[in-house]
Structure 1
Amino acid sequence: MTPLTTYSADHRFLVEAAAKAAGLTDPVAFIAGQYAYTLVDKAVRGALAPLDGALVRQWVTRSKLYPATTFGIRLYTIQGIAFARAVANVHSDFEESAYDLFVVSRADYVKLFRLVLRANREKVESSQPPVLPDDQLDVLRQNTLGYLDRNNLKRIKDLGGRAKRGLLLTGPPGNGKTSACRWLWEECRRTGHEYQIVSPDAYQAARRSCNPVQAVRDLFTVNRSGIIFFDDMDVALRDRNTVRETDDQAVFLSALDGIQVNEGVVYVFTTNCSLELIDPAFKRPGRIDLVLHFTLPDAKLRRRLMDRWHADLRGGIDLDDAVRQTAGYSFAEVEELKNLLILRFIDTSAWEWDWAMEQFRQNRTDLAEQHRHVGFTPVAAGSNGNGDGH
């Protein structure tokens, strides 16, 4: 059979099997996309059912989103509506959406969609912006969420502007790039903008697929206004004059230039590379229009981060002293100190800043030669409180 007839036959088989297992009439298949988590989160999970007599259970699942099977049918109900998810992961080259789909009765299809759409809007509240300098946060907001505002997009298009915008977030690890992207992602969910997250693994998987051109193009595509996040895409961004040249850059840039959307798209790239190592072809306007550098936080920003800590923790330490002692620390390192404080508090019922600082320094030495237990361990008699008693 040709690929088309193979797919259509497999599709009919999956839909019919799911409909029979869930008791559905006139079944409709759909991909939930960005609404998948809301759909299964609001639903009551039912039993697993075999697919053509076969059922492969999955013990370890990352979240409720996953049906706990790699080959089988998961049944669900939500407010009296029955639906099912059919999964048949039989080959890595198969298009995932073709062999992992939801099925519902046609009479309930629109009702289910509206129910989930309403639930998605209700459950996502405005999130707290990341701790960044005020001017940097304003620039980030204006060039992403502000750019995607419907009125702004209309004016941009009416005046002949580009319907896409590119941002590059650079800087050493731990200084806010991920937090900034997480906030943008949450705001996309809250406001209804589409989003897509492209990891290096997803990009390489697309390159190795049976139809790499289409698979890569799909990574760069949104159906309406939204943001596409490219996380640590160093393999495609490195300067071809300084690293071994591959065709990854050419494929990447070709897909980037070919983005087509109805209203607008913002693509946000994160990298730990210095700007000098980024390929000049990637940095030209139309691909990257703005670069935001994320550097070590100053005292003001470290204090703002600590001000978000739990009130009990803030009341148990000298915040001014904590800010002074963390000069040169990244956001991630300051947050690790918070975690050490909490673990120590659970052990001792005391907020011990000096212990956390000492433990942090020890943890940054050669861990392969030192074996220490941190948190949830009894304090040995005679311990001096610096970790030697563990």
Structure 2
Amino acid sequence: MTLEQHTASHRHLLDAVTKSTGIADPVTFVPSGLYYPLVQNANRGPLLPIDGVLTRDWIGTTRKYWPGVQFGIRQYTLNGITFARCLAPLGAGGSYDFFVVSRADYLRLFKEAVKAHRTKEPEGEPPVLHAEHLETLKQNTLGFLDRKNLQRIRDLGGRAKRGLLLTGPPGNGKTSACRWLWRECLRLGYEYRLVTPDSYRSARGAADPVEAVKQLFSVDRRGVIFFDDMDIALRDRNTVGESEDQAVFLSALDGIEVNDGIAYVFTTNCSMNLIDPAFKRPGRIDVVLHLEPPDAPLRRELIDRWHPDVRAAILVEHAVSQTAGFSFAEVEEVKNLLILWFLNDGKWDWDRAMDQFRENRQELAARKSRSVGFGSAAAPAANGAPH
């Protein structure tokens, strides 16, 4: 794309925004580090098409911050100020992502964003982890990204990136730890990126897979990259045979240039002896946290966070004792069954919920599929329990 083509496309998009939103004498801007406080405090307005085209984007965990569109316009208002975000990926013709506000409101909107940024939300409730694990998690991510810490690290000649690997059987806190870190990134204004197996496969299938993978593992400013369940890229090349896929991944980790610091948080369910030693070396992975099924104090802490009505209906120590060896996810499933029974017949019965849990586990192990949720009144389960 030539410069003339680029500016012509930008002018065309800006004209589409002003016609759709009525914003007069427009100024375009990119909020950068003020993006999250700006959008968090604004009211979401309508989605608007560009030249009659609107491509919606379904997203769950970040819908409050993501405009909900891949091609189109999202309008916002903040304290009476109307502004909009325009997104228009044009393939080989480039990609456009900018905000628009009236020149008369530009300075006022900037001040509102700065004020929102300085008014930090309180820290969210951390995940249920042992104190030493939680401290290690914080120090190697949020603490590492503290501006003063990063500057001191650079002054002393240290690396401006950190790698943390969360391992262990499914259901023992890896996802909840990442979810808490993600919320803290939003609260503190850190950039974040979520890399999933699907997004990784898409990058590997791009026209330039090396560059596409590097983009997945890069940020424009200090932030956290979450790399979830990417076992195919972590397994030992001596065990499964070296692959081009692993080589691209490992190259991406070392080929990234970051100005403001970066922390990688990787999760995997596979055994440590299957993880490529080249991936585990310092500089790629600096700390490993292995999360085992929770012990009694951790199960008690989890139960103490349940709704007061649920806690009042059970004997907490009895519940803690009966769930020995359970994962966090399994303890939560017993709670869900307890609630389903209560909704079904108005009675709280922990032992019945435990019996149902064991029956469900046995059936899941024996069957390829089974009903999940409430059974219909016309076709109850054989024992009268919720399906």
Q: TM-score, normalised by structure 1?
A: 0.84
- What is the alpha-carbon distance in structure 1 between the residues aligned to residue 370 and residue 192 of structure 2? 43
Cα offset, 1:378, TM superposition = 5.9
1:269 paired to 2:266: yes
Q: Secondary structure at the match of 1:344?
A: helix
Which residue of the other structure, out of 299, 312, 327, is the alignment partner of 2:309? 312
1:281 paired to 2:258: no
* 1:300-324 deviation per Cα after TM superposition (whole angstroms, max 9, x unaligned): 2111111111111111011111111
Task: Assess if the C-alpha contact under 8 Å between 1:121 and 1:190 holds in 2.
Answer: no
- What is the alpha-carbon distance in structure 2 between the residues aligned to residue 203 and residue 34 of structure 1? 26
| Aligned position for 2:19 | 20
Q: Secondary structure at the match of 2:312?
A: helix
Cα offset, 1:244, TM superposition = 4.9
1:132 paired to 2:141: no
| Aligned position for 1:73 | 73
Task: Assess if the C-alpha contact under 8 Å between 2:340 and 2:386 holds in 1.
Answer: no
Which residue of the other structure, out of 224, 229, 239, is the alignment partner of 1:227? 224
Q: What is the letter of the counterpart of residue 314 of structure 1? A: R
After superposition, where does 1:85-96 map in structure 2 within 5 Å?
85-88=85-88
Q: What is the letter of the counterpart of residue 43 of structure 1? A: A
Q: What is the letter of the counterpart of residue 138 of structure 2? A: R
- What is the alpha-carbon distance in structure 2 between the residues aligned to residue 155 and residue 86 of structure 1? 38
1:197 paired to 2:194: yes
Cα offset, 1:278, TM superposition = 0.8
Task: Assess if the C-alpha contact under 8 Å between 1:296 and 1:331 holds in 2.
Answer: yes
After superposition, where does 1:136-285 map in structure 2 within 5 Å?
136-285=133-282
- What is the alpha-carbon distance in structure 2 between the residues aligned to residue 14 and residue 127 of structure 1? 39
Cα offset, 1:150, TM superposition = 3.0
- What is the alpha-carbon distance in structure 1 between the residues aligned to residue 257 and residue 42 of structure 2? 34
Q: What is the letter of the counterpart of residue 201 of structure 2? A: Q
Q: What is the letter of the counterpart of residue 16 of structure 1? A: D
Q: What is the letter of the counterpart of residue 198 of structure 1? A: V
* 1:142-172 deviation per Cα after TM superposition (whole angstroms, max 9, x unaligned): 2222222333333322222222111111111
What is the aligned-residue identity percentage? 58
User: Which stretch of structure 1 is more off in the superposition, 105-114 or 254-263?
Assistant: 105-114
Q: Secondary structure at the match of 1:153?
A: helix
After superposition, where does 1:363-382 map in structure 2 within 5 Å?
363-364=360-361, 365-366=363-364, 368=368, 370-371=370-371, 373-374=373-374
| Aligned position for 1:358 | 355
Which residue of the other structure, out of 329, 332, 341, is the alignment partner of 2:329? 332
Task: Assess if the C-alpha contact under 8 Å between 1:379 and 1:389 holds in 2.
Answer: no
| Aligned position for 1:323 | 320
Task: Assess if the C-alpha contact under 8 Å between 2:373 and 2:386 holds in 1.
Answer: no
Task: Assess if the C-alpha contact under 8 Å between 1:181 and 1:229 holds in 2.
Answer: yes
Task: Assess if the C-alpha contact under 8 Å between 1:347 and 1:379 holds in 2.
Answer: no
- What is the alpha-carbon distance in structure 2 between the residues aligned to residue 158 and residue 305 of structure 1? 42
Quick one: structure 1 residues 327 and 58, their matched pair in 2 at CA, closer, same or farther if it must change by over 3 Å?
same
Task: Assess if the C-alpha contact under 8 Å between 1:170 and 1:177 holds in 2.
Answer: yes
Cα offset, 1:37, TM superposition = 6.3
Q: Secondary structure at the match of 2:193?
A: strand
Quick one: structure 1 residues 129 and 253, their matched pair in 2 at CA, closer, same or farther if it must change by over 3 Å?
same
Quick one: structure 1 residues 328 and 33, their matched pair in 2 at CA, closer, same or farther if it must change by over 3 Å?
farther
- What is the alpha-carbon distance in structure 1 between the residues aligned to residue 360 and residue 3 of structure 2? 56
Q: What is the letter of the counterpart of residue 76 of structure 1? A: Y
- What is the alpha-carbon distance in structure 1 between the residues aligned to residue 99 and residue 122 of structure 2? 27
Quick one: structure 1 residues 7 and 115, their matched pair in 2 at CA, closer, same or farther if it must change by over 3 Å?
same
Structure 2 gap ranges (5+):
none
Cα offset, 1:336, TM superposition = 1.4
Quick one: structure 1 residues 59 and 267, their matched pair in 2 at CA, closer, same or farther if it must change by over 3 Å?
closer
Q: What is the letter of the counterpart of residue 9 of structure 2? A: D
Q: What is the letter of the counterpart of residue 302 of structure 1? A: R
Cα offset, 1:101, TM superposition = 4.3
Q: Secondary structure at the match of 1:292?
A: strand
User: Which stretch of structure 1 is more off in the superposition, 265-274 or 137-146?
Assistant: 137-146
* 1:239-297 deviation per Cα after TM superposition (whole angstroms, max 9, x unaligned): 22222543222222222112323342221111111111111111111111111101111
Cα offset, 1:238, TM superposition = 1.7
Q: What is the letter of the counterpart of residue 10 of structure 2? A: H
Q: Secondary structure at the match of 1:362?
A: helix
- What is the alpha-carbon distance in structure 2 between the residues aligned to residue 79 and residue 338 of structure 1? 42
